[in-house]
Amino acid sequence: MKIIRWLSCLLVIGLWIHLAIGSANAIPIADVTASLSGGYTLTPDDAGSEFGITITSFETYVWGAVDASADYELEFEGANAPVTVTINDSSGSLIEARSPDTNSPTSVFSKSISRLNTAGYVTASSAAVYTAYFTATGSGTLNFSLLFNVIMSLTSSGSDEGAIGDAGYEVVFSLYDDSDNGYESYSTFTGSYDSMETYPQSFSESLALAAGDKGSLDFTVWTYGYTYSVPEPLTVSLLGFGLVGLAMFGKSRRRIAS
């Protein structure tokens, strides 16, 4: 019976030591930041002719959420205002999104940090959107130069606890028909984070306009972070043996008492 007692104690102590060492490791963190910025130039069809665009209105929108297995969730959203929102929850996770308060597209920004503080998972995601509505005066070409930048840091404590990150953007050029009830043309340009690429990434697009054309430019950027933890085999084995040992130890004590 003494052997059973000692074995039980050693298994439980081993489990405690293993859990203590595991908790001392780096906490899984997914830190993802992305921005989409740009500017434009106007090229008239005829040299010396007047060509321009008038921004008639603009909209901004931001969204973000933190969801965790510890039964809590934080979320924010806002529209039609200069918005900068940051939420830092109890785990240290963070979501932030910014959309500009200007009459010309400048930049949209998104940041999501998922920091795991309990077994299970934590997701953090956010997005920012800027939409500018315009009318063309004269005919020519609208030339856009855009810059997409990503900074991502993924920290994992081991094979059983990991971090995943992602980011992306979308740019939409739209022209409306005369009735303003439909699209005359619609072009979408999208991209996402690729760990093999070097950032920032730049690209240019053009949109031909005629006098009186009405349209919109939409810019969206988003980020996503996910951290998770699953029981590793050693922890499960030690826990199982420890519980079995404790059960045998309790049974042996009852036999001695009787």
pTM: 0.75
Lowest-pLDDT range of 5-14, 34-43, 123-132, 181-190: 5-14
Compute CA distances 53 → 133, 137, 195, 216, 234, whole Å. 10, 6, 37, 11, 65
pLDDT score of 44: 93
pLDDT score of 98: 86
Q: Which of 146, 127, 150 is nearest to 196 (CA)?
A: 150
The more confidently predicted of residues 22 and 32 is 32
Residue 184: pLDDT over 70: no
- Identify the band that residue 151 occupies on the pLDDT scale cut at 50, 70 and 90: very high
- Identify the band that residue 244 occupies on the pLDDT scale cut at 50, 70 and 90: very low
- Would you call the peptide bond into 200 cis, given omega within 30 degrees of 0 as the criterion? yes
**Using CA atoms, how far apart are residues 11 and 238, in angstroms rounded to an integer?**
7
Which residue shows structure tokens 């963190």? Answer: 29
The more confidently predicted of residues 225 and 23 is 225
Q: What is the pLDDT of residues 11-28, one digit of tens each?
A: 444 544 444 444 445 689
pLDDT score of 71: 56
Structure letter (DSSP) for residue 211: T
Average pLDDT for 168-196: 76
- Identify the band that residue 136 occupies on the pLDDT scale cut at 50, 70 and 90: very high
pLDDT score of 165: 94
**Using CA atoms, how far apart are residues 137 and 75, in angstroms rounded to an integer?**
41
